[in-house]
Amino acid sequence: MEIKITNMKLSDFPKHDQNPFICKIKFRKQEDNNNTGKRINVDFINLDGRTKKIGSGSFNLESPYLDKTPFVRIYKPAFIRLPRLSQSGIKIFSILFDELIFNGSEIYIFKDDILEKCGWNTDKPYYQGMASLVENEFLACSHSPNIYFINPTMIFRGNRTTLLKDD
């Protein structure tokens, strides 16, 4: 499979006021009666095996334990597009994990921090890498300097349902 990398500049990409990727997330609404939620209702019956209802209650199925290990979810579309990124794009992508805000759809990327973390002396690999990330839809440019929209269909830290707008 031949991978084509274009030479588009970061400034060639459109700038957005809102995250253009949010509408691409597909959610399925859970049914209330499928016992996959956090609470279930049960009926209590007599111990002698008769089906006479003597009461009801509900149980919380949520675990009392919390995994405090930092995590980022990487979805299948990201793995498919990862080989299309330039080398500098892959390097920046790996640094972005630490910069993602929990349940956030935006990321602040400060060029000087990236240059320092990557060990680059010039801006060229930064701009090439950022252009590669935008071209492959990992990120989208915003009108605000240094603010980018993340594509939650590729990568997300938290619960993507927080991005849903109730109409």
- Per-position DSSP letters for 80-135, written without gaps between them: HHGGGS-HHHHHHHHHHHHHPPTT-SEEE--HHHHHHHHT-SSSHHHHHHHHHHHH
For residue range 115-163, list pLDDT tens digits in order.
Answer: 999 999 999 999 999 999 999 999 999 999 999 999 999 999 988 888 8
User: Which DSSP state fits 153?
Assistant: T
Is 4 part of any domain?
no
- Per-position DSSP letters for 9-72, written without gaps between them: -GGGS-EESS-TTGGG----PPPTTSS-SSEEEEEEE-TTS---EEEEEEEE---S----S---
Number of domains forming the structure of the chain: 1
First to last CA, the chain: 43
Instruction: For the full predicted model, state whether its pTM sits above 0.85.
Output: no
| Dist. CA 27–CA 31, nearest whole Å | 13
Q: Indicate the pLDDT class of residue 64, thresholds 50, 70 and 90.
A: low
Is 110 part of any domain?
yes
Is 92 part of any domain?
yes
Domain with 112 in it: 14-26+67-163
Mean pLDDT, rounded, for 4-12: 75
Is 131 part of any domain?
yes
Is 71 part of any domain?
yes
Q: Indicate the pLDDT class of residue 9, thresholds 50, 70 and 90.
A: confident
Is 144 part of any domain?
yes
